[in-house]
Amino acid sequence: MGHPPLEFRDCYLDSPNFRERLKCYEQELERTNKFIKDVIKDGNALISAMRNYSSAVQKFSQTLQSFQFDFIGDTLTDDEINIAESFKEFAELLNEVENERMMMVHNASDLLIKPLESFRKEQIGFTKERKKKFEKDGERFYSLLDRHLHLSSKKKESQLQEADLQVDKERHIFFESSLDYVYQIQEVQESKKFNIVEPVLAFLHSLFISNNLTVELTQDFLPYKQKLQLSLQNTRNHFSSTREEMEELKKRMKEAPQTCKLPGQPTIEGYLYTQEKWALGISWVKYYCQYEKETKTLTMTPMEQKPGAKQGPLDLTLKYCVRRKTESIDKRFCFDIETNERPGTITLQALSEANRRLWMEAMDGKEPIYHSPITKQEEMELNEVGFKFVRKCINVIETKGIKTEGLYRTVGSNIQVQKLLNVFFDPKCPGDVDFHNSDWDIKTITSSLKFYLRNLSEPVMTYRLHKELVSAAKSDNLDYRLGAIHSLVYKLPEKNREMLELLIRHLVNVCEHSKENFMTPSNMGVIFGPTLMRAQEDTVAAMMNIKFQNIVVEILIEHFVKIYSGPPEESAAPPVPPPRVTARRHKPITISKRLLRERTLVYNTSSLDESEGDSDSFSKVWPPGEKPTIIRPPVRPPDPFCRAATPQKTKPDIVVGNAGEIPSSVVASRTRFFETASRKIGSSQGRLPGDES
């Protein structure tokens, strides 16, 4: 069973249960660190001890086989299952080739040792530094808190206030350290899936393909490597989208730690200033305000009485509360409210930023919507204008830009997106926009479409069906996945189902041009999973389910014809399958269980220097004691460009493409290099008997 997610709100409470779960993560981190050290040690032994090559491979394979991935959440995706089983597959493969005496490439250290050492020192080491800071800040805070609680109440008020401020400061420092540590340890726990496997995969690939005696073995390994590389890339994409959401959640929690508390007092009172407009200008009037949360009653007592008239308290019923944008007013700490008794908006000014947060928390206040040109509630629904907007976007994209490289992945200008949405959703003339105008490029249109769908008041696939859809995507049984999602699609409201069909049909058309735009169903799932589906709550556990949202969209694309040919035969969703007692219906990719074939060893009878000429190579069984000439592969290729820090990602990740394209990962770069090298080596060795050309 995997570890439960560490919620950021638990950092504020710092409960014993939270500490116990955190300890489990720390033990797993230490186990991973020890495992990496073992891999590095055994890898070095394999490189340096060629005489003991066979025993070193055996030990290395045992080390790989002894490790088992732990994971966050209750279910693994198919790609994560492939990754989790990968070390066992590698170990079986190493045992198979133990007696074939392969030569280790001289740059194996760059492929295996350095990336793992870098991950161990930079990621795990950095996490341990975070742990030290967390423990140090916690010890300092609780020590100060103990001394603070023993202070005598007879001390001066100024001393007590100073002590209170110091405790609040240390509490804030400890809370930030706790947030940073929890975020970092979960990030390492998730990212190790590909950061550990990728170097091993690259090392193994170079090990097999660099020796022409194992050509047949390399041919067997390539399909597995490509499928695993795709699983790694898919997992990386899921991780990237999940990390962005978690960073936003972490940022919100850091800026407003009060939201982590238990529900507070229902009533708040204090001084507020109210903006009042007069014929000669604007004035700010001081009121003493009391707010009752249960009845939403705000009582305002004026503190500055007008001459000749005594004003009594004013009772108002709150409708909504929203923070005032800083740039929209020259006063600080302002927020707006609207009441049933008074028309228009009432602008209030709190005494400080912290005081404003408390008032807004009590009033269930909202943050203002930045960069959103859609402000009216009716424009946030699936109405006729919204359908018209989506159809126009799809029409232009499929007419002008369906072959655009990185379609939907490349982001347009925020200014242009706002401009397009403002013009289209103008209440005076909604929908009156010529999308074929040169002002609107494909990036702007795709970004506007995604923005509109993401900012709907309720996602296209609704909050009500969210848990059922995610649960269906988590099933081991592929038939159940498809059947359950098929059934749930027809439980959507009519407008939602119509919009979903319109979008998925478009995404199918996009994926049919994947050779030109490089957008596969998996890529589109990563982009549109968080767009068409959203959890109603913002928690780490919900963020971890984003990868399953992506799978739902991927299934809708791949099985569009079946799903939208009509509702399932039974109106209800298929029953939940019983606990699995047999093997998975969808088996993980494997190479160790393949059918073995007779090997014909190919070797060169000439020396390395003569191999550059026209010397003949031939195929025969390797006699005992006779060894072929070993041809050393070229040196290590340079790291791919994707490792370098870039300000903005402008091109999609490329898994398969031409030789001139930028690789999507270290594995892709080095794989392409060694495949090219092996072809050059093969061509320099001459021809086999029977070849005419």
Instruction: Tell me the one-letter amino acid at 236.
Output: R
Question: CA 323 to CA 365: how far, in whole Å?
Answer: 7
* 417 pLDDT more than 80: yes
Question: CA 258 to CA 417: how far, in whole Å?
Answer: 34
Tokens representing residue 474 in the block: 């988590």
Tokens representing residue 598 in the block: 């007779």
* 346 pLDDT more than 50: yes
Question: CA 220 to CA 591: how far, in whole Å?
Answer: 7
* Angle, helices 384-396/442-454, rounded to nearest 10 degrees: 150
Tokens representing residue 361 in the block: 């928390």
- Provide the mean pLDDT of the chain: 76
Contact between 475 and 586 (Cβ < 8 Å): no
Average pLDDT over residues 111-130: 88
Contact between 344 and 277 (Cβ < 8 Å): no
Name the DSSP class of 604: E
Question: CA 361 to CA 355: how far, in whole Å?
Answer: 10
Region of poorest pLDDT, from 2-11, 490-499, 508-517? 2-11
| pLDDT of the residue at 602 | 37
Contact between 523 and 652 (Cβ < 8 Å): yes
Instruction: List beta partners, residue 272.
Output: 287
> What pLDDT band is residue 38 in, cutting at 50, 70 and 90?
very high
The listed range with the strongest mean pLDDT (38-47, 301-310, 388-397) is 388-397
Contact between 324 and 336 (Cβ < 8 Å): yes
Tokens representing residue 330 in the block: 């020259």
| pLDDT of the residue at 687 | 43
Residue of higher predicted confidence among 284 and 591: 284
* 671 pLDDT more than 60: no
SS3 content of the chain, % helix, strand, coil (to 5): 55, 10, 35
* CA neighbor of 463 nearest in space, from 533, 540, 541: 533
The listed range with the strongest mean pLDDT (223-227, 425-429, 667-671) is 223-227
Tokens representing residue 302 in the block: 């004026």
> What pLDDT band is residue 601 in, cutting at 50, 70 and 90?
very low
Sign of the CA dihedral 414, 417, 423, 426?
negative
For 437-485, what is each residue's pLDDT tens digit?
A: 777 889 889 999 999 998 888 899 999 999 999 998 888 888 888 889 9
Report the alpha-carbon angle 462-547-123, nearest 5. Answer: 140
* CA neighbor of 253 nearest in space, from 338, 180, 360: 180
Name the DSSP class of 608: T
| pLDDT of the residue at 662 | 43
Q: How far is CA 271 from CA 10, 51, 288, 380, 543, in A?
A: 33, 83, 5, 36, 40
Contact between 534 and 469 (Cβ < 8 Å): no
Tokens representing residue 282 in the block: 């604007």
Question: CA 361 to CA 256: how far, in whole Å?
Answer: 10
> How many other CB atoms are there within 10 angstroms of residue 685's CB atom?
19
> What pLDDT band is residue 108 in, cutting at 50, 70 and 90?
confident
Region of poorest pLDDT, from 180-184, 258-262, 320-324, 360-364? 258-262
For 44-84, what is each residue's pLDDT tens digit?
A: 877 776 566 677 777 888 888 888 877 777 777 788 888 88
Instruction: List beta partners, residue 274.
Output: 285, 348
Question: CA 263 to CA 243: how far, in whole Å?
Answer: 28
Instruction: Using DSSP, state whether 290 is helix, strand or coil.
Output: strand
